[in-house]
Structure 1
Amino acid sequence: YDHAVLVDNSQRVYETSNPDGTLVSIAYEGYDLTVDNWKSIDVENWLYVRLGNGQFGWIRNEGVKKL
């Protein structure tokens, strides 16, 4: 696992690594994220994350800065 922060203004968080998937939440700039590297490794341009509020989902990797 890696800790990360969202540096984009906002990004949508989905149930699947597909922008046509079900929306879980919207993450905003400064949100703390925990990245599941094992689950994310085989999915290009997406990260599986846990948001600070406990929700899980997929987010595009651009705009996410690992700490």
Structure 2
Amino acid sequence: MFEVGRDHIIVDSPGGPAGVSEQVWEVQEMEGTLLKLCNPFAKAPEILNIASSRFVKAVLLDKRQARPA
């Protein structure tokens, strides 16, 4: 489902009034259900547990849809 080094649209629900978030993230590392995600607009990498209720879905972007290097 996830590929390290590839961009994915990650949909999560951080809770509260913010509702659902949908952003493009690059998966840097995977260990079990934990993903280390990188986004050029984020101040620091984010860790997401895909087994948590916060995680909604992920979509692997086609290489043509990915961010330019």
Q: Normalization by structure 2: what TM-score? A: 0.50
**Structure 1: 4+ residue segments shifted above 2 A:** 8-11, 61-64
Relative to 1, partners in 2 of residues 1:30 and 1:65: Cα closer, same or farther, differing over 3 Å?
same
Aligned match of 1:56? 45
CA distance in 2, matches of 1:33, 1:9: 15
Relative to 1, partners in 2 of residues 1:35 and 1:64: Cα closer, same or farther, differing over 3 Å?
farther
Unmatched 5+ residue regions in structure 2?
61-69
CA distance in 1, matches of 2:46, 2:12: 17
1:10 matched to 2:26? The reply is no
CA distance in 2, matches of 1:30, 1:52: 15
Q: Give the percent of matched residue pairs that are identical in Structure 1 and Structure 2.
A: 11
Q: Normalization by structure 1: what TM-score? A: 0.51
Across the aligned residues of Structure 1 and Structure 2, the Cα RMSD in angstroms comes to 2.3
- Between Structure 1 and Structure 2, how many residues are aligned? 47
Letter of the 1:58 counterpart: I
CA distance in 2, matches of 1:51, 1:10: 17
